[in-house]
Structure 1
Amino acid sequence: MTGDRVRNLLAGEDGQIVPALVPLAGALATAPRPRSVLAWLRRSPSARLLATLSAGQAEITHELLDDLPQDAATRHVRDLLVHTQVLPKRQEYFNQLELWFRRTAKDLPAAHIEIIRPFAEWFVIRDARRRAGRGRYSLNASSADRNEIRAAIEFMQWLDNQQLELTGLTQSHLDVWLVQAKTSQRRANAAFIRWTNKRGLTQNLEYPGRPMTMPVLFLDDEEHEDQLRRCLTDGSLPLELRIVGALIRLYGLPLIRIVHLTVNGFHQDERGAYFTFDKNPVLLPPTLARLIEQQITTGRSRAALGPLATSEHPELLLPGQPASRPRSPEALSGQLMKHGLPTIAARNTALFGMAGELPPIIISDLFGVHRNTANQWAALAQDSWAGYLAALNSEAASRHE
């Protein structure tokens, strides 16, 4: 039945499955969860979009999908086609940044686009392209880049409302805006003002730097250990959350890194089980190793379409929908919070503990923490320990007075 429905969905005008879509047809017809596939075929807007594309005359390409509304249906169709290797994998977060600016630029006044386009394309997007080329462009990076462009657009609108020209902007004008703007706008617009200064569009405007904020959310030792114990031993928690929660509490890994871990990072030998998070393997506690083994064995059944891993695109440890797409860090964070497993406080606590025991270079090599970040945590741990010792000495001295 599933095969007939798939054939009806992906058939061209001649009643035959479009040759380019044969891999997708095969994956749908042999999916490990056929009921989910049948329900999707009956009700999903993305299935209807696929039927429309299949009946059309045009070759289905990334560029064809780029010209469609970038809604959930288009995203899901693209994911399916990439997952089944009908379309090549690309840096989608970066490509969506380009598409977003292309759409946004159409609505900008001519006087604004003369300024915004070179800032967006030559400064923000060019740097994003460089990072994407190195494979280091995440959803968070894309959101930050959009915010910088959006903040520049809003700043130009503010200038219009104040009947000011960018070239006539003074420090007093900028100070007024800084007082009125939201904190998020002030942070995001720093890049634009630095760029206008460098290009001579504004004259040596001073923009307040982003203050270094110290982490304030931590767990006490007892609470941290209790949460880790729950992750490792509480069978009532979902398996994925147990693994994610343990990785955060043991190694301080951020969610954005965890969702991109692949099963080939896990291996075992006569000495134990290891996971390579960055450059070097890390010995796992036996309980966590068993959880990861279980996830590798059963986790693939979560997605209606199973994994189609290759040497170039290995299978994800936490497959999404489809299995080639990583899980949402935001969704995982919300699920962890519902189970009383906060993310930020636990990660801060883990990093602080490691920084007090391991050299920064070891933390960087084992867990992929940037060396500057590792050094900052080491300094924080040293300062806090020095302060603790000073407080103890002061208390001891007062008792002897």
Structure 2
Amino acid sequence: MAATSSVTHQGLDALPASRTREFVRGLLIEHGILEPLDLYRAWFDQRARQVPDRLTNPTHRAVIRRYIRWNHQRRMRQLDPAPQGTFLRSKQAITVAAERLNWLTDHDIDLATLGQDHLDVWQATGPSTRLMADRFLVWAIRTRLASIELMIQRHHRGISPRMNTPSSPPPTSPCWTRLPQIGPTVGTRSSKT
């Protein structure tokens, strides 16, 4: 960097990625040496270039590139500057989408023949971050890459078999003990009305 006559964002980008490089960039922007830059969008663009390389299927690489370009990068360009929350959600969404597409490849399923049973198995066998796949699924349905009947199942409290076993004791926290006991008259009308 010291060998060049001018300092630019492109020159900094040519250096190895590190926290130090980004710290120096921030200092140069703060002191007016470099023009302001939408850092979250720049970081997302840099990460987005790496995601297709993690996919093993060439067709899925093309799908993820389209998803990134037309869903996430387009939205980030509309926001000036892109907020941190948008950056973090978009980063997580493309990570989960790539994981989803790799799972499809591993199970010899393509996006066009993806069924709800496949989607349910994938969702049930992984972490809760797989709920972020709904963003990719909505986009895939809208672009006619996947069936319109597909949906990510949301988890609702109290429906898990493990949580609702008859052998589990009732809650003992003070807020539960203060609730009135509900008897057999719930849902019946009073004769005075």
- Same-fold call, TM cutoff 0.5: yes
Q: Residue in 1 aligned with 2:7?
A: 60
Q: Residue in 2 aligned with 1:201?
A: 145
**What is the Cα deviation at residue 121 of structure 1?**
0.9
Q: Residue in 1 aligned with 2:73?
A: 125
Structure 1, unaligned stretches of length 5 or more?
1-52, 214-390, 393-401
Q: Residue in 1 aligned with 2:170?
A: none
Within 5 Å, give how 1:331-342 maps onto structure 2. Answer: none
CA-to-aligned-CA distance 1:190-222 (integer Å, 9 cap, x gap): 100111111111111332465699xxxxxxxxx
SS of structure 2 residue aligned to 1:207: coil
The structure 2 residue matched to 1:71, chosen from 15, 18, 25, is 18
- Asked whether 1:86 is paired with 2:30, we answer no
TM-score scaled by structure 1?
0.37
CA-to-aligned-CA distance 1:150-206 (integer Å, 9 cap, x gap): 1110001101111111111111111211211211122x1110011111111111133
Q: Which stretch shows the higher mean deviation, 138-147 or 191-200? A: 138-147
Give the aligned residue type for 1:206.
Answer: L
SS of structure 1 residue aligned to 2:20: helix
The structure 2 residue matched to 1:96, chosen from 23, 43, 46, is 43
Give the aligned residue type for 1:80.
Answer: L
The structure 1 residue matched to 2:60, chosen from 93, 104, 112, is 112
Q: Residue in 2 aligned with 1:176?
A: 121
Structure 2, unaligned stretches of length 5 or more?
158-178, 181-193
Give the aligned residue type for 2:40.
Answer: Y
Q: Retained in 2: the 8 A contact 1:152–1:192?
A: yes
Within 5 Å, give how 1:154-193 maps onto structure 2. Answer: 154-186=99-131, 188-193=132-137
Separation of aligned partners in 2, 1:156 and 1:106: 12
Separation of aligned partners in 1, 2:60 and 2:22: 30
Higher relative contact order (CA 8 A, sep 6+): 2
Q: Percent identity?
A: 23
Moved over 6 A (4+): none
**What is the Cα deviation at residue 124 of structure 1?**
1.3
Relative to structure 1, is the Cα distance of residues 97 and 58 closer, same or farther in structure 2, using a 3 angstrom cutoff? Answer: farther
Q: Retained in 1: the 8 A contact 2:133–2:152?
A: no
Q: Retained in 2: the 8 A contact 1:171–1:206?
A: yes
CA-to-aligned-CA distance 1:308-366 (integer Å, 9 cap, x gap): xxxxxxxxxxxxxxxxxxxxxxxxxxxxxxxxxxxxxxxxxxxxxxxxxxxxxxxxxxx
Separation of aligned partners in 2, 1:155 and 1:103: 16
Larger proportion of helix: 1
Relative to structure 1, is the Cα distance of residues 211 and 107 closer, same or farther in structure 2, using a 3 angstrom cutoff? Answer: closer
Relative to structure 1, is the Cα distance of residues 104 and 85 closer, same or farther in structure 2, using a 3 angstrom cutoff? Answer: same
Q: Retained in 2: the 8 A contact 1:66–1:99?
A: no
Separation of aligned partners in 2, 1:179 and 1:107: 23
CA-to-aligned-CA distance 1:67-93 (integer Å, 9 cap, x gap): 333211111110111011100112111
Alpha-carbon RMSD across the aligned residues, in angstroms, is 2.3
